[in-house]
Structure 1
C-alpha cells in the first residue's frame, strides 16, 4: 500500500496540470447536472404545491350570465365545484401601467380553487372596494397591499387588499387576463360567469369536459381550460432550461468520461517501462489496475465533491431563475437523494469508462518487448516517415516539390496510425460537437431577439379596443401616428375542438386585400375563403396535417376551415388557427375588430409609441408592446455560455492528452530527424503541425455533425412546446471558420512548449527513450 501511494504521489507531482483539468472538468459537469435537476424540480413542484394547497379545480368553464351551472354538480366524476362566480373583463391601471383583468365576484374564501395568500389579507365586507390580485398580475402592475387601482372611463378605484397565488392560468399581457378576486358589489356589470370542477380522477378530464358540454350545450360555453394546460404553461420556460442543462450536462459527462479514458490510455502507452518496473518489483496485474483506476476515481470524486459544495454555497446567489430554482430545490422532497445520486452517478460513469484502459495497464508484461532491428538496406526511419511506416505517395510527392519537411512529417504523424488517430479525433470532436450545438442555440436566440417576425411576432404593438370605439376611429388614430407602418385588424375567439374536450384560439387577422404576414414553416398563407394556417400545437391536438379540413364550434355556430399552412405560433402552446377577418365575417357579418396588430417603422420604440397612442385615444385603447417569447429564454444565454466553458475545458484536457502522447511517441523519431538535418525548431514544428491537423479534423467532423444535430434538437423542442419546427438557425459561417481556426491554432500553440523541450533533449536521453 505504501508503494502504491508513493507511486501515485509521484505521478501526481509529475502531471499536476492534467490532474487539475480532470478535476475541474468533472466539477463543471456535475454542477451542470445539479442545476438541471434543480430546474426540473422547480418547474414541476411549485405549481403542484400550489395546486395541492389550494385544492385546485381540474376544469374551469366560462359561460354566459344566463347559463344554469348548478347542473354540473351532478356530472359523474365531479368531487367538488368552485363557484359559479360572476365575471367581468375590464382594465386596471396603476403607476402608468395598464392590464386587462377578469374581475371574479367571490363572496367568501372558497374551498375548491382557494387562493393562497402571500401578502395582505382576504376580502373584507367592511371594505367593498377591496380586491385580491393574482401574484403575476400584481408584479406587472407594480402593486401591493394598500395600493389604489384605477378603473377605465372614470369608473372609480379599487384598493389592493392582498396578493395570492393560484394554480390557474397566469397573467400574460395580450393573451391571458389577470385574475382579480372581488366582492360581488364591486363587479357592477357582469359579462359572464365561471365555474371550476374538481374531479375524483384527474385522468378523466377530457371525459368530464365532454359531459359538461353535453349537459350545458356547446352554445353556452365560451371557453374551457384544464389543469394540464395551466401546468404546462407554468412549467414551460423552466422545463426548457432544465432540458438544455440536462442534455448538455449528460453530453459533457460522456465527453469527460472519454477524455479520462483517453488520458489513461495515453498515460499507459507512455509509462510502459514504469508499469513493467512496478510488476518487476512485485505488483500484480490487479494492483496495477487498481493504481490507475483509484487514481482517476479520486480525481473524479474530488471534482464531484467540489461541485456539490459550489452549488450549495453559490447556487442560490445566481441571479434570475437559476438562483430561485436552487433556493426552492433545497426545500423540496428528494433534494438530498438527488444531490447524492447525481455526483455518485458521474463518478461511477467516469470509473466505468476508465476501467478498460486500466485493465490494459494490468496486461503490460513485466519485461518490455524489444523492437526488431531494421532490415539491411531499409530506408532510415525519418525517410520512411517515422514510427508510423512509409510516407504516403502524396506526401512523398510534396517532399519532392520542396514543401517544408515539418509540414509533411507533421501531417504524417497526425494520421500515421489510423485507428489511434481516429479515436483521438473522435474524443476531441465530441465536446466540439456540443459546442457547435450550443452556438446554434445561441444564434437561434439572437435571431429571435433581432428578428421576432421569424417566430410569429411580426407586430411590435397589440391594440385592444374598448369603450365603444369603432373601426374607423381606431384606424384613424393609428394611421395618424408617423411611426406606425401598418395596422392589421383582427378578432380572437375561443372555439371548441371536435369532441368538445378543449378550447383553442380562433383568430381572424388582416383582410384578403391586406393579408397578415404570418411566419410560415410549411405550406402557404391563406388566400381564399375558408383557408387558414394553424400552429403545431393545434395540429397535434387534432391529429391533422396541412391540407386537412377541420371543424370547430364558436358559441353555437360551426366553423369549417381548410388548413393550407403551418405557422410558427409562440402563443397558447401553438393551439391557434388563424384565417382572415373576411372569412370569419362570412359566418357572422356583424363581427367587428376587437384588436389590431401594429407594425412600426424601423427604429421606432414600441413603448414610446404605445404611450403616445394611449394618450391620443384618451385611455380608450389598451396598447402594449407585443411579448417576444425569446425574452423569457434570456437566462439560456448565461447557461449556454457556461456550458461552452465546461465543454472547452473538457476539450482542453483531451488536447493536452493528445499532445503528451504525440510528444512521447515522437521521442523514438527524434534521433532520426536530427540525423537527416532537422533543427530543434523544425522538430518542434512537426509536433505543432500534427496537433493542429488533429484539432482541425476534429472540428471539421464536429461542424459537419453538429449543425444537423442542432437543427434536430431545436426543432424537436419547438414541436414539443407547440411552437413548431423550423425555428433553428445555423451559426454564421464566419463564427464557424473562426472557431475552427482558433481550435487549430490553440492546439498547435499548446503543443509548442512540450514539443520544444523534447526537441532540445540531449542525445543520451533520446537513446535511453528508444532503447
Structure 2
C-alpha cells in the first residue's frame, strides 16, 4: 500500500496540471448536469403542483352565449365541470401598461380550476367592481391588491382584490390574454362563455374534446384549450434550457471519459519500465490496475463532490432563471436523490473508462520488452522525401510526417481531441442561431416588429394613416386572427389573415412558395404535424359554423403558438366571410428603428385608443442560454486542454528515441523542438478541421430537430461566422504549439546520458 501511495504521489507531482484540469472539467460537467436536472424539475413540477392543488380542468371550451353546455357534464369520462362562466374580452391599463384580458364571471371559488390565492382575498359581493388577477398578468401590470385598473375606451374601472395562481395558460402579450376573475355583474359586454371539463383519464383528452364538440355543435365552439397546451406554455423555455444543458453535459462527460482513457493509455506507454519494475517487486496485475483506477476516481470524485456542494450551497444565488430553478428544485421530493445520483453516475462513467485503460497496465510483463528500433513515425513517405528534396524546412516536414504517419494511435488522438472541439462548434452554432433571432428577426419568422390594436377610434382608414405617418414605419398590414377547429374536432389552431394580395406581408419560407392566389396559405410546422399534412395538401378547418378550405403552398418559420398557425391573406378570409374586418395591424419598421420607442410614440399619438406592443420574440426568454453556452465552452476547452497535454506528453516521450539520430545528422535543439511542436500543431489542426466538417452538419440537424419538435420548424439553424471558426481553429493550433514548446525544448536539450537511459 505504501508503494502504491508513493507511485500515485509521484505521478500527481509529475502531472499536476493535468490532474487539476480533470478535476475542474469533472466539476463543470457535473454542475451542468445538475442545473439541467433542476431546470427539468422547475419546468414541470411547479405547474403540476398547481394543477393538482387547483384540481385543474383538462379541457376548456369557449362557446357562444347561447350554447347549452349541460350536455357535456353527462359525457362518459367527465368527472366534474367548471362553469359555464360568462366571459368578456377587454383591455386593462395600469401604470401605463396595457394588457388584453378575459374577464370571467365567477360568482364563487370554483371546485374545478380553483384559483390559488397568493395575495389579497377572493371576490366580495360588497365590492361589485373587484377582480382577482392571475399571477402572470399581475406581474406584467405590476399590480397588487388595492390597485385600480382602467378599461380604455370606457369609463369603467376595476379594483384588484387579490392575485392567484392558476393552471391555465399564463399571460403572453399579443398571444394569450390574461385571466381576470370577476363577479358576474362586472361582465357586462358578454362575448361568450367558457366551461371546463375534468376527466377521469387525462390520456383521453382528444377523444373527450371530439365528443364535447359533437354534442355542442361545431358552430357554437370558438376555442378549445387542453391541459397539455397549458403545461407546454408553463414550461416555456425552461425545458429547452434543460435539454441544452443535459445534451452538452452528457457530450462533455463522454469527451472527458475519452480524455481520461487517452491520458492513462499514454502514461502507460511512457512508464512501461516502471510498471515492469512494480511487477518484478511483487505487485499483482490487480494492484497495478487499482493504482490508476483509484487515482483517477479520486480526481473525478473530488470534482463531482465540489460541483454538488457548490450547486447546493450557491446554485439558488445564481441570478436569473437558473437560480430560480435551483431554488424550486431544492424543495422538490426527488432533489436529494438527484443530487447524489448525478455525481455518482458521472464518477462511475469516468471510472469505467479509467478501468478499461488501466486494464492494459495490468497486462504489462514483469520483464521489460525492448522498444522497436524503427523510428516512431515509420519510414519517410514519398511526399515527405519529395518535400525534403524541395528544401522545405526539415523540422516542418518531419513534424508533419510524425503527425500523419498513419498510425492508429495518432488517429485515436485526433479523434479524442475532435470530440470537444466538435461540441464547441455545436455550441457556437446555438449561440449564433440565438443571436440571429435578435439581430435579424425577419429572417427567423418575425417579419413585423409591432402589433397594434385599436378600440375602434379612429376608423380603420384613420388608424392606418396614423400608423404610417411615423417615418420609422415601413409598412402596416391589416390582420385578423381567429380560432379554427381542426378536422376531427380535437383542438383549435390559429387561422390568420394578414396583409392583402395587393400588399402581402412578407414571410420567411423554409419550404414551398408564398401564398398569392385565392385559398392559398402557408402553415407552420406545428400545424402540419397536427394535421399530418405537408406542403401541397388541401386542409379543411371550421371557423364557427363556416368551413374554410385552404391550399398549403408553403411552410413558414412560425415561432408563435407552437407553430400551429396557418396564415393567408385577409382577402381570402373575406371571400369566405364578408363580415371579417381587421382586428389589428402588423407594423414592419425601417432598419435601425427601435421598436420600443416607436411603440411609445404611436401610443402617445393614439391618445389612449391604440394598444401597441412589440411582437414576442422567442429568443427573449432564452437569455440565460448565453451564459450556459459560455460555461459549456469553458468546460469543453478544459477537456480539450487535457487531451492536448496528453498528446504533447506522448509526442515528446516518443520523440526521445529519435533525439540521438537527429543530433547525429546535424539538427540543432531548436530544430528538434520544432519537430515536436509541428507534430502537435498538425494534430490539433486535423482535429479542428474534422470538428468543423462534422460539427456544422450535426449542429444544423440538432437545432432543426429542436425547432421541429417545438413547432417552429426546421430551417432556423445558423452557422457561426467564418471568423469565429477561424478563431477557434487558430486558438486550437496556436494553443497546442504554445503548450508543446516548453516540454519539447526540455527534451531536445537533455544530456546525452539521459537520452541514452531513456531509450535503452
* Offset of residue 371 of structure 1: 4.3
Aligned match of 1:377:
none
Greater CA deviation, 243-252 or 155-164?
155-164
Residue equivalent to 1:39: 39
Q: Report the equivalent of 2:510.
A: 521
4+ residue stretches of structure 1 with deviation over 4 A? none
Match of 2:552 in 1: 563
Instruction: Report the Cα offset of residue 587 of structure 1.
Output: 0.7
1:680 alignment partner in structure 2: 669
1:625 aligns with 2:640: no
Tell whether the 8 Å contact from 2:436 to 2:444 is kept in structure 1 after alignment. no
Superposed CA deviations along residues 46-67 of structure 1, whole A, max 9, x for unmatched, are: 1101100100000001111122
**What is the aligned partner in structure 2 of residue 225 from structure 1?**
225
Q: 2:250 maps to what in 1?
A: 250
Listed one character per residue, the Cα deviations across residues 70-108 of structure 1 (whole Å, up to 9, x for unaligned) are 222112111111111111111110111100011111111
Match of 1:392 among 381, 387, 392: 381
Q: Distance in 1 between matches of 2:278 and 2:416?
A: 29
The normalised TM-score by structure 2 is 0.99
Q: Secondary structure at the match of 1:529?
A: coil
Question: Is contact 2:55–2:113 with CA below 8 Å preserved after alignment?
Answer: yes
Moved more, 351-360 or 607-616: 607-616
Shift of residue 372, structure 1, vs aligned partner: 6.3
Q: Alpha-carbon deviations, 1:662-694, whole Å to 9, x = none?
A: 111111111111111111111111111111000
Deviation sequence 1:443-464 (CA, Å, 0-9, x none)? 1111110001122111111011
1-structure distance, mates of 2:6, 2:408: 34
Residue in 2 that maps onto 1:293: 293
430, 450, 461: which one aligns with 2:419: 430
Give the superposition deviation at 1:288: 0.7
2:590 corresponding residue in structure 1: 601
Alignment partners' CA distance in 2, 1:521 and 1:728:
11
- Specify whether residues 750 and 32 from structure 1 end up closer, same or farther in structure 2 by C-alpha distance, changes over 3 A only: same
Deviations 1:483-528 (A, max 9, x none): 2110011110000000101000000111111011111100001011
Separation in structure 2 between the aligned mates of residue 417 and residue 269 of structure 1, nearest angstrom: 18
For 2:50 and 2:392, how far apart are their aligned partners in 1?
Answer: 72
Distance 1:184 1:21, change over 3 A: same
Task: Note if contact 1:425-1:698 (Cα within 8 Å) is conserved in structure 2.
Answer: yes
Deviations 1:210-235 (A, max 9, x none): 11111111000110000011111111
Is residue 11 of structure 1 aligned with residue 11 of structure 2?
yes
| Contact map agreement 1:224 1:503 (CA 8 A) in 2 | yes
**Aligned-pair CA distance for 1:729:** 0.5
Map of 1:412 onto structure 2: 401
Residues in 1 aligned to 2:396 and 2:147: alpha-carbon distance in whole angstroms: 75
Equivalent in the alignment of 2:353: 353
Query: Residue in 1 aligned with 2:678?
Result: 689
SS in 2 for 1:563: strand
| CA distance, structure 1, for counterparts of residue 333 and residue 451 of structure 2 | 42
2:689 pairs with 1:737: no
Partner of 1:211: 211
1:292-350 deviations in Å (ceiling 9; x for gaps):
11111111111111110111122111111111110111111211111111111111111
Give the Cα separation in 1 of the matches to 2:353 and 2:372: 34
Given that residues 471 and 592 in structure 1 are in contact (C-alpha distance below 8 angstroms), is that contact kept between their aligned partners in structure 2? no
Structure 2: any 5+ residue segments left out of the alignment?
A: none
Which residue is equivalent to 1:766? 755
Partner of 2:56: 56
| Partner of residue 168, structure 2 | 168
1:128 paired residue number: 128
Q: Secondary structure at the match of 2:67?
A: coil
Q: CA RMSD in A?
A: 1.1
Question: Offset of 1:126 from its aligned partner?
Answer: 2.1
Q: Secondary structure at the match of 1:90?
A: strand
Deviates more, 1:151-160 or 1:396-405: 151-160
Q: Whole-Å Cα distance in 1 between the matches of residues 64 and 410 of structure 2?
A: 73
Deviation at 1:398, TM superposition (A): 1.2
Preserved CA contact (<8 Å) 1:407 1:685:
yes
CA distance in 2 between partners of 1:454 and 1:138 (Å): 33
| 261-270 or 58-67, larger mean C-alpha shift | 58-67
Moved more, 659-668 or 476-485: 476-485
- Look up the SS of the partner of 1:153 in the other structure: coil
Secondary structure of the residue aligned to 1:79 is strand
- Correspondence list, 1:650-669, <5 A: 650-669=639-658
Does structure 2 conserve the Cα–Cα contact (< 8 Å) formed by 1:236 and 1:721?
no
- Report if the CA contact (8 A) 2:153-2:455 is conserved: no
Q: Which residue matches 2:364?
A: 364
In the alignment, the residues of structure 1 paired with residue 616 and residue 203 of structure 2 have an alpha-carbon distance, to the nearest angstrom, of 33
Judge which range, 309-318 or 424-433, deviates more.
309-318
User: Counterpart in 1 of 2:453?
Assistant: 464
Measured after TM superposition, the shift of residue 16 of structure 1 is 1.1
Superposition TM-score, scaled by structure 1 size: 0.97
Cα deviations by residue, 1:373-420 (Å, 9 ceiling, x for unpaired)? 6xxxxxxx7xxxx32221111111111221111101111221235200
Displacement of 1:615: 2.3
Aligned to 1:303: 303
Secondary structure in 1 aligned to 2:237?
helix
- The answer to whether 1:499 aligns with 2:488 is yes
| Structure 1 residue 353, shift from structure 2 partner | 1.1
Aligned residues between the structures: 760
What secondary structure is seen at the aligned counterpart in 2 of 1:152?
A: coil
Q: Is the 8 Å Cα contact of residues 644 and 736 (structure 2) preserved in structure 1?
A: yes
Moved more, 330-339 or 533-542: 330-339
Whole-Å Cα distance in 1 between the matches of residues 479 and 633 of structure 2?
44
Name the counterpart of 1:280: 280
Residue 72 of structure 1 corresponds to 72
Gaps of 5+ in 1: 374-380
Distance 2:516 2:456 in 1: 33
Match among 719, 722, 729 for residue 711 of structure 2: 722
Distance in 2 (CA, whole Å) between partners of 1:543 and 1:730 is: 30
Q: Secondary structure at the match of 2:131?
A: strand
Match of 1:642 in 2: 631
What does residue 376 of structure 1 align with? none
On the 8 A contact 1:550/1:560 being kept in 2, the answer is yes
Q: Are the counterparts in 1 of residues 103 and 179 from structure 2 also a CA contact under 8 Å?
A: yes
Deviation at 1:136, TM superposition (A): 1.1
Partners of 1:521 and 1:44 lie apart in 2 by 31
Does structure 2 conserve the Cα–Cα contact (< 8 Å) formed by 1:50 and 1:167? yes
Q: Which deviates further from its counterpart, 406-415 or 84-93?
A: 406-415
Corresponding residue of 1:102 = 102
1:69 CA displacement: 1.6
Equivalence for 2:463: 474
Look up the match of 2:566. Answer: 577
The answer (yes or no) to whether the contact 1:132–1:164 under 8 Å persists in 2 is yes
Summarize deviations over 1:690-737 as a string: whole Å, max 9, x none: 110000000100000000000000000000000000000011111111
